[in-house]
Amino acid sequence: MKKNSEYKKKKAIKRYLDGEKVKQIAEAMKISTSTIYSWIRQYNEKRNSIVNEVTELKKLAERQQQMIEILKTVDCTVSAPLKEKLSAMEKLYGKYNNHLLCETMEVDRGTFLYHIKRSKGENNWYNQRREELKVHIQKLFEENNQIYGSKKITALLRKQYVIHYHVRSEGQIIKKAVYIAIGVNMDGRKDVLGMWVGENESAKFWAGVLNSLRNRGVEDILIACTDNLTGFSQAIEAVFPKTDIQNCIIHQLRNSSKYVSYKDIKSLMADLKKVYTAATEEAALDALDSFAAAWDSKYPKISKSWYENWPNLSTYFKFPQELRKLIYTTNTIEGFNRQLKKVTKAKSVFPTDDSLFKMLYLAMKDITKKWTGRRQDWSRIYAQLVIYYGDRIPE
């Protein structure tokens, strides 16, 4: 049975590499698409591991070759006095990497750089390189200023989606994240369920958060909307096993476009839009396969990320349009975060976790005073929830 499974796995991967779509392979071989995606992911991970090992060996060989070249070029031996070695190395400054040069000649890098600094006024290479860098930096500034504008660049650098605060702890200032849960009850009214301070995301941390919600009276969670938090899926399966998880599409898009060239961004995002705006999950997978075929040669990590997170990205496809708008982004919580930052921006460092909590709690009370009504389209959303989760919705 195991050999048969391995044969099917190899056959499915071969057909995928030959250009056949996953959906077609699944239908022909009578295997679920999730199983095929799992096989493809395992194959890619194994291939990438081998490629990385080969790359590291090539780098090591190139490094050894450069060290041999240095030893052939330098005017002294490794055992020569330090002053003689520094003088000989100065002639090679700029031709080789400083780390490699110092390692080859067994000279402390700080000692070598101090020697260069003292004589840089007479070093023609240093002066020439400095002028080249001036021109290069000026060119980068002019290009970026034309594309974005200086104010836009500042906004991009300062934009955050997790609230971080600096808190003093044991004589040190530590950067801590505050995680916030907002829920919508069966009456269509939203409320803040809690705030937690954590230095690292993990399944253990999220299990503690979810257990605290259960202990405080949360009986069930129908759909959990997150921004792909580390360890959250494992934790919620343990505490609320029937909950559907929906990762924020907007966060996935931001991560996908983070390192895309400015020239490609418009057409790439247009192709991705066909994926998340598809009418059905099957149509979305077809669009994702087309995206991978078009862009994997330049940006292979984008389609890989979508395939790996697809189970939690595709949850909203089974719901109607009204419910999709409610769950496929975390805009509600991001708007709440922005209001909190307006209150806390004047405080650079908090003396304790308690002082941070007190300020956030008071700000939260002021913000939630305005949350008096329910969603305008809640009647239609509730009717759909009854259809999908009828046995779990209280009378």
Which tens digit of pLDDT belongs to each residue from 190-207?
888 888 877 567 788 888
Which tens digit of pLDDT belongs to each residue from 213-225?
888 888 888 888 8
pLDDT band of 306, cuts 50, 70, 90: very high
User: Which pLDDT score is estimated for 283?
Assistant: 92
pLDDT band of 147, cuts 50, 70, 90: very low
Which tens digit of pLDDT belongs to each residue from 375-390?
778 888 888 888 888 8
Which own/partner pairs from 349-353 qualify as long-range (CB within 8 Å, at least 24 positions apart)?
349/166, 349/167, 349/168, 349/173, 350/165, 350/166, 350/167, 350/168, 351/167, 351/168, 352/167, 352/168, 353/167, 353/169, 353/176, 353/197
Residue 248 has pLDDT above 60, yes or no: yes
Q: Which residues make Cβ contacts (< 8 Å) with residue 172, sequence separation at least 6?
A: none
Q: Token pair of 166, please?
A: 């600096």
| CA–CA gap between residue 365 and residue 378 (Å, rounded) | 24
| Rg, the chain, Cα only | 28
β-strands 163-169, 172-184 pairing? antiparallel
Nearest to 312 by CA among 394, 212, 234: 234
Q: Token pair of 233, please?
A: 């899926």
Mean pLDDT taken over the chain: 80
Name the burial class of residue 81, with classes exposed (0-12), middle (13-18) and buried (19+) by CB atoms within 10 angstroms of its CB: exposed
> CA-CA distances (angstroms) from residue 45 to 41, 288, 303?
6, 20, 14
User: Which pLDDT score is estimated for 2?
Assistant: 47
More confident residue, 137 or 92: 92
Which own/partner pairs from 93-97 qualify as long-range (CB within 8 Å, at least 24 positions apart)?
93/123, 93/125, 93/126, 94/125, 94/126, 94/129, 96/66, 96/70, 97/66
pLDDT band of 140, cuts 50, 70, 90: low
User: Which pLDDT score is estimated for 122?
Assistant: 53
Provide, rounded to the nearest whole percent, the portion of the chain with pLDDT above 90.
8
Residue 149 has pLDDT above 70, yes or no: no
Which tens digit of pLDDT belongs to each residue from 318-363?
888 888 888 877 777 778 888 888 888 777 888 888 888 888 888 8
Global confidence as pTM: 0.54
pLDDT-wise least confident of 71-85, 153-167, 234-248, 255-269: 153-167
Which tens digit of pLDDT belongs to each residue from 254-300?
888 888 888 889 999 999 999 988 989 999 999 999 999 999 998 98
Provide, rounded to the nearest whole percent, the portion of the chain with pLDDT above 70.
87
> CA-CA distances (angstroms) from residue 212 to 217, 337, 392?
9, 22, 21
> CA-CA distances (angstroms) from residue 22 to 15, 37, 310?
9, 8, 13
Residue 369 has pLDDT above 50, yes or no: yes
Nearest to 44 by CA among 16, 23, 20: 16
User: Which pLDDT score is estimated for 145?
Assistant: 40
Are 259 and 268 spatial neighbours (Cβ–Cβ below 8 Å)? Answer: no
